[in-house]
Amino acid sequence: MKNYVLCLLLFFGWCVAPANSWAQSDSALTSGNSTNGMTTPHNHGMNMDMHHDHGMAVPVSYGDITKTASMLETARHATEKYKDARVAEADGYGQIGPDVPGMGIHFVGTRTGSTFDIEHPSILLYEKDPSAAGGYLLVGVSYLLNAPEGADGQPPDSPFPKSLASWHRHANICVLADRSVKSSLTADQCASQGGNFTAETQWMIHAWIWKDSPAGVFSPTNPAVQ
C-alpha cells in the first residue's frame, strides 16, 4: 500500500510544491515575445492576460489522492475514443486557436456550460502527429467551471481536491470567425472583426492524462507537448 501511495504522489508531481513555485511558473508564462496575440515564452505558453490564482499549498491526504486518481481514470476511459480526432469532430469538438508549444491544439466541444462532467471534458488537447488517427495525438483534456472566486483565489467547490489541482482563468479573449484566438483586441475591436469577445473566461484546468507532463498532471503547460 505504501508503494501505491508513493506511485500516486509521483504521478501528481507538484502536489506538495510550495506556493511560490506557481508564481515562478506564472512569470514564465507571461514573459516572452508576442505574435498574433499569442506568446510562446521558452516555447511553453501563450499570453492571454492570464491570472493564475493558485492560492496557498494545501496538505494532501490519502483520500485526495485516491479520489483524484479515480476521477482521472474515469476521464481516460471516457475519452479513449477521441484518440481518433475524427471521432471528436463527429461529436462536436472543433479546433480553436493556434498550435502552441506546451499547450498543443485545443478542440472545444459543444458542452461548455457550467456543469462539470468528468466524462465530458469541455476541451480536448492534441498535438500534431501524422502517424496518429486523424493526424492528431490526444495528449490531455481541459475542464471549464462556472463558479465564483473564493477567499483562496479558487472556486469554492472545486470538483478536484484543492491540494492537488489549481484552476485559472483567461481575460480579454476574442475568438474570430476562422476560430483563431486573439488577446490583444478590445471588445469593440473584436466586434468590428466579427469576433466573439469574452472579458473573462470560466475557470479552466488542464489534465495531461494522455501524455505525461514533467510539471505534473494538472500543470498549466506540458513541456513534453511540442
- Angle formed at CA 122 by CA 143 and CA 184, multiple of 5 degrees: 85
- Least confident range from 13-17, 49-53, 195-199: namely 13-17
What pLDDT, in 10s, does the model give residues 176-185? Answer: 888 788 888 8
pLDDT value of position 12: 38
Name the band, by pLDDT with cuts 50, 70 and 90, for residue 202: confident
What pLDDT, in 10s, does the model give residues 3-24? Answer: 333 333 333 333 333 333 333 3
Domain boundaries, the chain: 2-207
**Beta pairing partners, 137:** 127
Cα–Cα distances (Å) from 151 to 116, 137, 148, 213, in that order, read 21, 38, 10, 29
Buried b (16+ CB within 10 A) or exposed e, 47-72: bbebebbbbebbebeeebbeebbebb
Average pLDDT estimate for 131-148: 94
Q: In the predicted model, is pLDDT for residue 51 greater than 50? A: no
Which is more confidently placed, 53 or 15? 53
Return all residues near 73 (Cβ < 8 A) that are at least 6 apart: none
127, three cell numbers? 498535438
Stated pTM of the model: 0.70
Q: In the predicted model, is pLDDT for residue 103 greater than 90? A: yes
pLDDT value of position 56: 52
178, three cell numbers? 476562422
Average pLDDT estimate for 143-156: 92
Average pLDDT estimate for 35-64: 52
pLDDT value of position 113: 59
- Rounded to 10 deg, the angle between the 62-79 and 2-12 helix axes is 60
